[in-house]
Amino acid sequence: MTSTPSSRTPQQALAALLDRYAPQHLLLVGASALPAVSAFQDAHPQCCIDIAPAAPLAAELRGKRYDLALLIDCLEHLPKKQGLELLGGIRNLNANRVATLVDMHACDWQETDFYSLAMQASECFQREGQVLHLFTYDLLDYKQVPDWLNAKFWANPELFGKYWW
């Protein structure tokens, strides 16, 4: 990841994410109030937003599906094992898209911990000695489709896409 700080603020980056994905169901874990989320909710009153504390998800939230999950000011307050379980669980079970804003100096996380969860380093923000990193995950583009995955490379190309075994 490049250590060049972004020209945007974290709130502007979050607002851009919200505008890009326009979620109908949003999960906010950690921070209870964010100006970007409040502005999005004012502009999109039909959006259902669930807010959870920086802890394992409550039973009523674990069974829900979200268009986007934001973990802000969350991983810094959890033991690393619990944070990995929370982030991985949300990514696997609750949301197709996940974004987390984390101060890695305030916790014992490394960039490779996020990469191991298939997250991408999106931006870096620096202000008054504090450095925040934005990591994102999108199920639809986390892996490129390999060029060999087509009928041309099959033993029987006429059967490509016809049978599932």
Q: Give the other-Cβ count within 10 Å of 92's Cβ.
A: 11
**Count of residues making up the chain:** 165
Q: What is the pLDDT of residues 82-134, one digit of tens each?
A: 999 999 999 999 999 999 999 998 888 999 999 999 999 999 999 888 899 99
> Would you call 137 helix, strand, or coil by DSSP?
strand
Looking at residue 33, its pLDDT comes to 81
CATH number of the domain at 10-159, out of 3.40.640.10, 3.40.190.10, 3.40.50.150, 3.50.50.100?
Answer: 3.40.50.150
Residue 2 pLDDT exceeds 60: no
In angstroms, the CA 61 to CA 63 distance is 5
